[in-house]
Amino acid sequence: MKIDGNEITEVLNTRIVIEWAMGNWCNFRCPYCFDEANLGTHKAPEVTPLVQANVTHLVKQIRKHNPNDHIQWTLSGGEPTAQKKFEFLLKTLNDIDDNSHVMLVTNGTRPITWWKNNIHQVEHVILSHHIESKIEHNIELLKLFAEHKTNIAISVMIGAQNFDQAVKDYKILAELTTPKKFTHIKLMINRFRLTSRNDEFNELSKEQHEILNSLQEQYKLNKQIDETSRIFWRSNRIRIKEKLYRKYQTPHIKYTKDNEKIIDEMGWYRGKRNRYEGNWVGYKCYAEGRAMHIRYDGGMGRLPCKVVFFKDVNIFDEDFVNKYKYNNEPYICDKTYIDCNCAGQLEAKKVL
């Protein structure tokens, strides 16, 4: 792979992501939800001593080979907070390893008192505002997140079915989250997608798309950012002790230009994509050990190249500790970017 014609010799990336779909049950019935996310067959798991022992084993396995890399737990569902003792899982994950953090993908419907009691356990929240969401509740929740400087991305789900109401809610949330106090909160629009269960799906009209585009533009223009607060968040909130490991949470690349060794932000998804040419064929790619997935039924798999689930490995089983071994062996990449089904892994650690 080359950038501006210079061969890249390494991708530096110190983040290890464990995506965990905590059940496939949700208290909402959004028509645009993916089947997998809301089949209703598996509630978020009960946090038993066995589950605690198994997640501890998983982290220990990772740590054997990666003493300093940062672990990000991405908890989604269904609705991950649906399990009554969910806070116990948050505490377990935070206690096992202090070089890790939890990112939560949620509809935010637990009562405000629940959030008040547990807000210190989550660093990032991907919050979604749905047809069934209550605007008053989400306003309170966002105020709470702002007080705690929690990093939030909130998406208002908008389709032809709920256009007027959703636009009304978006405008209220835009006004709320524009001032500096809400620096860590980013408001977005998520347009409905066609899914197998969305019988009433209608495309947004051209005019509706234009209204949404202009609302987003306006929000971006008005949004006030407190840079000191952002810098504080980056250097204090996420528990990473080593400066360099913190820096390379954002993927960087190494290359030589005019005999000078350069380390620069990779920026593939931040506007630099056109400067790259080629693919990762022949590189040692460590993506398997950097991107793991736990399915709603506890099955474990790896994401790179394509999602593959390990045979008989389940995080809820008694013999998980005997069956799960972390694989630190790199792949030698043999796929061009076009064939590579690993978009998220493009930025995983690699060495030529």
Q: Which residues bind ligand SF4 (CB under 6 A)?
A: 26, 28-30, 33, 37-38, 77-79, 107, 128, 130, 280, 285, 287, 304-305, 331, 333, 335, 340, 342, 345
Closest to ligand SF4 by CB, 212 vs 305, is 305
CB of 1 to ligand SF4, least distance (A): 9
Which ranges in the chain belong to alpha helices (H)?
A: 49-65, 86-96, 112-118, 135-148, 163-177, 206-222, 227-236, 243-247, 320-323
Closest to ligand SF4 by CB, 24 vs 314, is 24
Contacts of 2 (CB under 8 A, 6+ apart): 8, 276, 277, 278
CA gap 83, 76 in Å, rounded: 12
CB of 254 to ligand SF4, least distance (A): 16
Closest to ligand SF4 by CB, 33 vs 89, is 33
Closest to ligand SF4 by CB, 29 vs 120, is 29
CB of 236 to ligand SF4, least distance (A): 31
CB of 232 to ligand SF4, least distance (A): 31
Contact status, residue 177 vs residue 185, Cβ threshold 8 Å: yes
CB of 163 to ligand SF4, least distance (A): 18
Closest to ligand SF4 by CB, 8 vs 96, is 8
CA gap 336, 352 in Å, rounded: 15
